Structure 1
């Protein structure tokens, strides 16, 4: 069960880094930062021993600084809910809530490696933000597909997202 939680949080992290969406434009909150939203499905494969795979439907809303991510199973049950804001990151899985100091800490604890949340939002928007160790393929973002590969540090990870902008 703990491994499933780690994989769920890892996918959530990946989504945070890559984000998926449905049609619509970004909104601007009072503070002036852009709130973006995506929905779709994602899969994450980590080439660890043994290989770990995860797939889920997702809804991502917010920005790298503050947002929400919900992961659901294909039959619609909620797997995990993530909420982050400056100074905190919460992972809710059923009745359990785990707290972290940041989204990066949440993702690293869940996956064993940092997933670049800020870059994920940029990648979903079609911007090629460079992050050491990560290689995004943005060639199909216009058709709602994103792939990003983490080549270092080990183990290698492959994130694939099919999305619509909300």
Structure 2
């Protein structure tokens, strides 16, 4: 199965941080595979590939800006790229409309039939908000 759409992730600054700005990321995406092995591509607004993440039991790779970086696993790659971990196994379940429970995360699948998924991590900090809008 291949999922396509838009994905956004907003990570709030730590409550003790002075700036309170946080980080946000939004891009068109294409995801295929499963939690153990797969590929996730992010695209620029003009449609070219901005980054490709690929993972397998042997490790994970990030290809962006003509460079390839190696990571021990997908979790480490996501933390490096996005500043926080995203529960990939749960994301695959959520995309399939299954409300997989992840400690600290709350998922809203009430609009999954319309292609909308929202998830929010409240623990551990920093607070993170993930939104997915799937293409038809």
Task: Please report the TM-score for the alignment, with normalisation by the length of structure 1.
Answer: 0.74
47-56 vs 119-128, which moves further: 47-56
Taking the TM superposition and a 5 Å limit, the aligned residue runs for 1:10-159 are 36-48=1-13, 49-159=20-130
Classify the secondary structure of the residue corresponding to 1:130. coil
- How many residues are matched? 130
User: Does 2:125 correspond to 1:160?
Assistant: no
Gaps of 5+ in 2: 14-19
| Rounded Cα–Cα distance in structure 1 between residues aligned with 2:111 and 2:30 | 20
Structure with a larger share of its residues in strand: 2
Equivalence for 2:17 = none
- Paired residues of 1:113 and 1:153 also in contact (CA < 8 A): no
Q: Higher helix proportion, which one? A: 1
**For the residues of structure 1 that align with 2:135 and 2:3, how far apart are their CA atoms?**
6
- Structure 2 distance, partners of 1:69, 1:109, is 15
TM-score by length of 2: 0.89
Report the Cα offset of residue 143 of structure 1: 1.0
| Moved beyond 6 Å, runs of 4+ | none
The Cα of 1:79 is off from its aligned counterpart by 1.3
CA 1:37–1:162: 2 relative to 1, 3 Å? same
State the secondary structure of the residue aligned to 1:74.
coil
User: Please, which runs of 5 or more residues in structure 1 have no aligned partner?
Assistant: 1-35
